[in-house]
Every structure is written in C-alpha cells, then in structure tokens.
Chain A
Amino acid sequence: MVQYTSGRLDASFAALSDPTRRGVLEQLGRADASITDLAETFHMTLTGMRKHVGVLEQAGLVTTEKVGRVRICNLGPRRLEEEAAWIERYRQLWDARFDELDKVVEELKRKEKVDGRRNRE
C-alpha cells in the first residue's frame, strides 16, 4: 500500500471531504474539463470552482494546464493514492466498528465470568 506522510494525508482528506470536490474528481475521471465546464456542471461561479480546483491541485489530485486562454484540469499523479485514500476511509469505518465490537466482547466476557461464578455457587 502507498505510504503517506501525515501532511499529505491531511491534504488528501481535506480535499476529499467536500462533496463538490469529489464530484469534480469523478467528472475528471471520465474526461478532462476546463474550469468553466466544471463551474457550469456544478452550478457554481468561476471563482468558487477555481477555489475547489486549487484545493485538489494542492493535494496533488488534479493538475491544471493552460491551453490558449483556457485552463484545462485533469486527474493528477495521485490517482493511485486516491484509491489508497478511500481504502483508508474504509479502514477508519471498520476501526470504529471494531472498537464498538471490542466493547461488546468485553461485556460478553464479563457476563460469562459472572454467570460462571453464579453456577459454581
């Protein structure tokens, strides 16, 4: 699996924590698009979309390139890391679940101990 430094992990999660930005990634997964295209697709102002693309670009998830007077966005070099990011999110979900399961198992162990003691009496 891809190893992260914590700063990059931070940037990735921050970038992926916004639904519009996830939508932009999904859109760019299908085809490259200009910021104007993206702004239209997501019903946003150019300034708003530039901001989102900026965050994705800083996280390395998107690269942009000026072609003539248009800025074209495409998926960045970290496509693979995007996968690692969802796996990490999935891991966090299971980790949270299993922390709760730990409590259930502790409770069952405690009950068994009490019942065992009762049976011996």
Chain B
Amino acid sequence: MDAGTESELVPMKNRTTVERKSERELVVTRTFNGPARLVFEAWTKPELFRQWWVPKSMGMSLLSCEMDVRVGGKYRLEFEPDAMAFFGTYLEVTPHSRLVWTNEEGGEGGPVTTVTFEEKGGKTLLVMHELYSSKEALDNAGSGAADAMVETFAQLDELLLTLGASVG
C-alpha cells in the first residue's frame, strides 16, 4: 500500500442543493466520489439502500424495504415506530444512469421522482427531480412535510438548531 492511499479513503463532503425549479418541480443535487454504477447500486439494492435512506438523525428505522427494480416493478418502505409507509412503481430503469418512480402513498396523482446519475472523472453527479401534479400539490407537500416532521423529524430540529447556532 502506498502512502497516498490513506488520504484517498477520507471521504470529501460534497454540497447538497435543493431548488424549487418551477411551481411544480423540486430538484435535489449532490456529487458523490465514486463511479455511477456504485451509486446506482446503492439506490437499487435494498440491503444497501436501507443503510443510508434513514439517517440516524431522523430518529426512525426502516422496518422493511422491498424493491423490485424493473419497469412496472413495485417498491415499499415501512418505518418504525409509527408504521408509516412509502410505496410506488418504477416507470423507468436504465442501469447506472436513470431511475423514475411514482409515489403513491398519498393516493393518485402523487409526484413522480426521476433520479439521474451522471459520471464524470470517476465522480457522479446525482440529480433527483420531483414533479408534482400541480403547484398546490407541491405547496401542500411542503406544509404536509412540515406537519409530518413534527413527530418524525423532531431530532432533525435539534440538529438544525445546532447547525444554525454554529453558522453565526
């Protein structure tokens, strides 16, 4: 092993951005220090997916995670302690570059999520795009998310306050 290997193993922290691109669209971006096939793998293999989808700061854990990653295949995520579930159908599956799925837990007309993986120089730019059926649906997702966060993201609140305090 050469001396340079150690420092390569220290992960560099990349920035996450979220932008409301239009009245109906929300876009999240982040670069990962690895090839697209590995990042894609982490989004499509349940045993890997469940390692990162529920960060400790959420104060919850995944009870089950089923993913049938192919066009028309279903996914279902169940959380504890409050048995909340997220589920939907994969509309597009292009290995290492593109995933599209529906979000059906809120009934029909739920948002459609598109994730693209773009590799450049061994790094992967990930863009997650959520398209809502209307401006109102996205507005409601915001206030609905705020409601849901009351309980589930209580720990995130604390984190935010800590972060907010350290900014100034």
Contacts and interface: CB of A to CB of B under 8 A. Distances in A.
Overall SS of chain B's interface? helix
Interface residues of B, number: 48
Interface stretch (B67-75, B96-104, B106-114, B143-151): B143-151
Contacts, number: 128
B142 A13 contact: no
Contacts of B39: 101, 105
A86 B146 contact: yes
Interface string A1-22: 1000011011001101101001
A92 interface: yes
A13 B164 contact: yes
A102 B30 CA distance: 10
A105 B42 CA distance: 7
A104 interface: yes
Given A96-B156, A103-B52, A22 B168 contact: no
A6 B149 contact: no
A16 B157 CA distance: 9
Interface in A1-51: 1, 6-7, 9-10, 13-14, 16-17, 19, 22, 26, 29
Contacts of A26: 143, 147
Contacts of B13: 99, 102
A93 B146 contact: no
B161 interface: yes
B123 to A, nearest CB: 10
Interface of A: 1, 6-7, 9-10, 13-14, 16-17, 19, 22, 26, 29, 83, 86-106, 108-110, 112
